[in-house]
Structure 1
């Protein structure tokens, strides 16, 4: 029964994602002046062979605002982060499968650049741009109070750092346990609370949710500059590694979902 309910809803993150189900029944009515992002389902993942479309849901989730604090980096989210994924169930075992198609966002210019001093990054060589990337599987409701477990890394770009510099890696990712809170972080962080799902549209079905986590750790950087020569500089500037209790993710997310049977008839 719980899995059937979970299939009904998927509010998704970020980033860069993010989704969860089973909460739509508790959703409050939308505000009259709610500004809802536009959604396209053209990029939904292809289903596995012999999958029953009636048991699969495609979700397009857009993180439109919030904040991501990773060690010494404290960045407001002001450009959308979009994740597209599908989740479905085996009709016999009811085992859930999640397929992530993409995570897309524009590079975010990090305030203060290399030196971390506002206004010092007027030259391109002093600028740093960060971009979230997926670094592993996506899990929906892996445990109580966790609506989505998202593994990610942050691409850090600068002319000196090259194109492969990241905070976190596929082997050692930043793992976010996103939920509604209140969270239970170690100090110095204190508990924070998100906001429950709110239905804001019925065609397509769109849910607005604020997901939070401030109990996760952030690993060191990797592959910054030739042979990783600049890893230490990135770690110093970013305050890495950063232990649990010193980092925060707040994602205000609009998630639009459609069943694959509905998509096939669209």
Structure 2
């Protein structure tokens, strides 16, 4: 279930060296129209606006296992205070589409099928990793369309890395891939971010008066402890300095 945990490019943004350019490949289109305004007093030369397309991978938790087949897009800015060099990230937008995660009981695609849509709550960059907070909205006529796994106050907290994870069992370590230049005009890099050490909270606001929370938790295997969930985000990032915008 896509994820988010989409997403950003911590290694590039913190100055990690890039790998050698990859062979020519089809590159998605990007838009920087949603770039956020910079904080008061910010120096544009110290800031980047990043348009991200998560084009593939996996987002699995509890008993839900979902390949990312529909792109997720997000735009965020990151930069440094000109005096303290403290890094700050600002999430501007996150776009995803509804995906069917459970077939209907009677084979229908409308009344009893379950659809999911990831939504970003917050984003930060810490020590080269992308900390992406998500909630996953579930929907069908029975659950309603305000049913979520994770909330704004209790989200799914991903700590995405291009390095190697250190999850509790039964998960084993997995590795992302460092950024690779795939285009110079515009500047685009490709990378894979991973996390399989996060936990997932239970359902909230499902059915009338939370009446279906228990059912979602039972079917989805929630809450799901750390070591039983996996996020793999294959993504492209187009970065522009605020002096170019």
For structure 1, the 5+ residue unaligned runs are 1-12
Large movers: runs of 4+ above 3 Å: none
Relative to the length of structure 2, the TM-score reads: 0.93
SS of residue paired to 1:200: strand
In the aligned structure 2, how far is the partner of 1:50 from the partner of 1:39? 28
- Partner in structure 1 of residue 149 of structure 2: 167
**Residue 18 of structure 1, aligned match among 4, 8, 13:** 8
User: Which stretch shows the higher mean deviation, 233-242 or 41-50?
Assistant: 41-50
Contact 1:179 1:213 in 2 (8 A): yes
- Deviation per residue, 1:98-146 (Å, 9 max, x gap): 1111100111111435x6xxxx5424111111111112x3111x24xx5
SS of residue paired to 1:164: strand
SS of residue paired to 1:198: strand
User: Which stretch shows the higher mean deviation, 92-101 or 59-68?
Assistant: 92-101
- Deviation per residue, 1:68-95 (Å, 9 max, x gap): 1011000010011011001122211112
**Residue 258 of structure 1, aligned match among 235, 240, 245:** 240
- Partner in structure 2 of residue 52 of structure 1: 43
Aligned-residue Cα RMSD (Å) equals: 1.6
Do the aligned partners of residues 15 and 216 (structure 1) sit closer, same or farther apart at CA in structure 2, a change above 3 Å counting? same
**Which is richer in helix?**
1
**Residue 222 of structure 1, aligned match among 180, 193, 204:** 204
**Residue 194 of structure 1, aligned match among 148, 153, 176:** 176
**Which is richer in strand?**
2
Q: Does 1:83 align with 2:70?
A: no
- 1:2-151 to 2 correspondences below 5 Å: 14-20=4-10, 21-22=13-14, 25-32=17-24, 34-113=25-104, 120-135=106-121, 137-140=122-125, 142-143=126-127, 147-151=129-133
Relative to the length of structure 1, the TM-score reads: 0.86
Contact 1:27 1:197 in 2 (8 A): yes
- Deviation per residue, 1:28-67 (Å, 9 max, x gap): 21112x1110111111112223322111110001100000
In the aligned structure 1, how far is the partner of 2:109 from the partner of 2:239? 42
For structure 2, the 5+ residue unaligned runs are none
What is the count of residue pairs matched by the alignment? 241
SS of residue paired to 2:244: helix
**Residue 210 of structure 1, aligned match among 160, 178, 192:** 192
In the aligned structure 1, how far is the partner of 2:193 from the partner of 2:33? 26
